[in-house]
Chains A and B, each alone.
Chain A
Amino acid sequence: MLRYLGKRFLLILPTIFVPLILVFLLLRLSPGDPAGMMLGDQATAEQIAALRNQLGLDQPIWVQFLFWIRGIVTLDLGNSIFFREPVMQIIPRYAGVTILLAVVALALAVLIGVTLGLISAMNRNKPIDRGVVTAAVLGISLPEFWFALLLIFVFAVTLRWFPVAGYNPPTAGLIAFGATIFLPALALGVRQSALMTRMMRSSMLDVLNEPYITTARAQGLPESTVIGRYAMRTAAMPVITVAGLSAGYLLGGAVTIEIIFALPGLGRMLVEAVGRRDYPLVEGGVLAISLVLAVLNLVIDLIYAILDPRIRYQ
């Protein structure tokens, strides 16, 4: 198990570095000059050149790359060109919101998906099953920004149960935090919950056909144990895979939702930073997201290994 863990840790490194190199290159190869943007229309060529020199942008690209690598290793990602403060201080401020949003969205998605999938599988081809399957197809097809607006209209504008937009950190109290995070999380998680519903339904139906489920019944196990202990544990595997993929999507795809609900998250910060050609901040943001994703994948692999002994010994 320890060896397996170590191997998984080593595999994280390329997962983080490949997107970083891509972002580094893309930013520098795309048109637009941060020095020019920062100084405005009135700046002279000398002023721009001086700022470029100060930011190191006049160095050859590979020198810039080496500087930047050194920065990562020493945990110094430089200063944001726009905010003029260290990137390492800015990122955590925004990342917290995004991670919380993703976690709540994922929790909602798993809760809804597993429950509906289970109900559906246990009532195969009955009206309730058809209803769930139809709802799932709808959930997958709905664009999330539309669903977000619908939620705002119904629950915030008409029923006034939740605020329309804005954000309270968890330190402001659980209820205040919950009120601002619930609608965005639901809007963000609806597609994932629909995917998980379908996944859970089909994997549950597969497992229920396995001979060892028949054996369990033949042994005289009560049906609740057969479903709960035998079937669900196996059926959960594909759902965990989907949850892992979802987590990545939720972290990276929260941009629209963060903008609609005016949440100060990493996605919104990144979009703005790209617009300002704020190289250090964009790189720092991507680093943060890929780090979180890589760790998340590791966690999911570990959950796999715990649930399925076959993986551990390979």
Chain B
Amino acid sequence: MTEQSILSVTGLSKSFRAVKAVRDVSFSIPRGKTFGLVGESGSGKSTTARLVLRLVEPTTGSISFRGRDLAELAPRALRAERRHMQMIFQDPFGSLNPRMSVRETLVEPQLVHDIGTPSDRLRTAERLLAEVSLPRAALDRFPHEFSGGQRQRIAIARALATNPELIVADEPVSALDVSVQAQVLNLMRDLQDRHGTTMLFISHDLRVVQFMCDEIGVMYLGEIVEQGPRDRIYGAPAHPYTQALLASAPGKGSGQRARLKGEIPSAHAVPSGCAFRTRCPHAFDRCVNEKPAMRDIGGGQKAACHLLDKAEAA
């Protein structure tokens, strides 16, 4: 939308039978920037990530990537397009094929998309290893010989192998020790700067998202309830859910205990009106009957809450 966005998602929804996992999600990411999706488990973040890559077929909505609608692409064209969009998963123990050496793991994506000659591919594999600070000797070893952080670095190297324009990272550091997390996150930022990659970054960890992302979308029960530039979201959160999330982050002063009560409701039975009303400290009559619309509140920040109407009217 603004500038030239490489990825633009509009009205994306996914239902698994009665379960509405993702509802009417829209966002766009400018080239070279990072968009973060935060939310509790079950908020539809991961499904959104898979929808964007069309690993899961969307029920409705469009995914405009490099000027084409991925949702409409035929299987063959979609496969070819995958060269430009790669993924990093949460579980570094599961996302690498245990039967493939690091060399095979790094060469395979290039092979699939017919990039370079065999010696080019090997050179690329060596360069990628160096970029993620692993020794050349790692090429002939297998995933089980590495630690979690090292495996995730291999997964990152693999994601970069086809020099993609978009990387979707689904909780890439949640399975790692905190000390290793910082290392991997720094690496991801360095590589992004160097390659100019655009990133969709998914995490439930607010500090990680703050560190990584330029723009943030807060998800609740399959919807984006607030989105905007990082500093606006963290500095002046407009939606009660965002406020509660920030307040409940650990290390935010012991006087202010978690304000979020209970569990996220089941996606089988989404509450009427505003989905968040069952846990919202400010809920009133209108929230039960009427679904709040997304409202622009300036500075690129948008939120969906009836309180914003009230504030405006007052």
Contact for A222 among B50, B79, B85, B155, CB less than 8 A? B79
User: How big is the B interface, by class?
Assistant: 20 to 34
A210 (CB) vs chain B CBs: closest residue = B94
Binds B, one of A60-68, A139-147, A304-312: A304-312
Q: How far is the CA of A230 from the CA of B90 in the complex (A)?
A: 20
The yes or no answer to B188 lying at the interface (CB within 8 A) is no
The yes or no answer to B41 lying at the interface (CB within 8 A) is no
11 contacts between A and B (CB under 8 A): A214-B50, A214-B87, A215-B96, A215-B155, A219-B82, A219-B108, A221-B112, A222-B79, A309-B98, A313-B142, A313-B145
A212 (CB) vs chain B CBs: closest residue = B97
Interchain nearest-CB distance for A44 vs B (Å): 71
Known: A215-B87, A218-B87. A308 touches B98 (CB 8 A): yes
Chain B residues with Cβ below 8 Å from A210 are 94
B residues apposed to A, CB below 8 Å = 50, 53, 55, 79-83, 85-87, 89-91, 94-99, 101, 108-109, 112-113, 142, 144-145, 155, 158, 162
* A309 with B82: CB separation less than 8 A: no
* A218 with B86: CB separation less than 8 A: yes
Known: A221-B112, A309-B142, A313-B145. A215 touches B82 (CB 8 A): no
* A234 with B99: CB separation less than 8 A: yes
Chief secondary structure at chain A's binding surface: helix
Q: How far is the CA of A19 from the CA of B158 in the complex (A)?
A: 51
Contact for B82 among A211, A214, A218, A313, CB less than 8 A? A218
| Residues 22-60 of chain A, each 1 if its beta carbon lies under 8 Å from chain B, else 0 | 000000000000000000000000000000000000000
Contact for B95 among A215, A225, A310, CB less than 8 A? A215
The yes or no answer to A259 lying at the interface (CB within 8 A) is no
* B79 with A234: CB separation less than 8 A: no
CB proximity to B under 8 Å, residues A162-190: none
Chain A residues with Cβ below 8 Å from B155 are 215
| Residues 287-311 of chain A, each 1 if its beta carbon lies under 8 Å from chain B, else 0 | 0000000000000000000011110
* A234 with B89: CB separation less than 8 A: no
* A219 with B109: CB separation less than 8 A: yes
Contact for A220 among B91, B101, B112, B145, CB less than 8 A? B112
Chain A residues with Cβ below 8 Å from B158 are 215
* A220 with B82: CB separation less than 8 A: yes
* A309 with B108: CB separation less than 8 A: no
Chain A residues with Cβ below 8 Å from B82 are 218-220
* A217 with B55: CB separation less than 8 A: yes
The yes or no answer to A216 lying at the interface (CB within 8 A) is yes
Q: How far is the CA of A285 from the CA of B80 in the complex (A)?
A: 61
* A310 with B94: CB separation less than 8 A: no
Chain B residues with Cβ below 8 Å from A212 are 94-98
Q: How far is the CA of A211 from the CA of B90 in the complex (A)?
A: 9
B96 (CB) vs chain A CBs: closest residue = A212
Chain A residues with Cβ below 8 Å from B144 are 309-310
Q: How far is the CA of A216 from the CA of B104 in the complex (A)?
A: 13
Interchain nearest-CB distance for B49 vs A (Å): 10
Known: A222-B79, A308-B98. 18 other contacts (CB 8 A): A211-B94, A211-B95, A215-B87, A215-B96, A215-B155, A215-B158, A217-B55, A218-B55, A218-B82, A218-B86, A219-B109, A219-B112, A219-B162, A220-B80, A220-B112, A221-B79, A234-B99, A310-B144
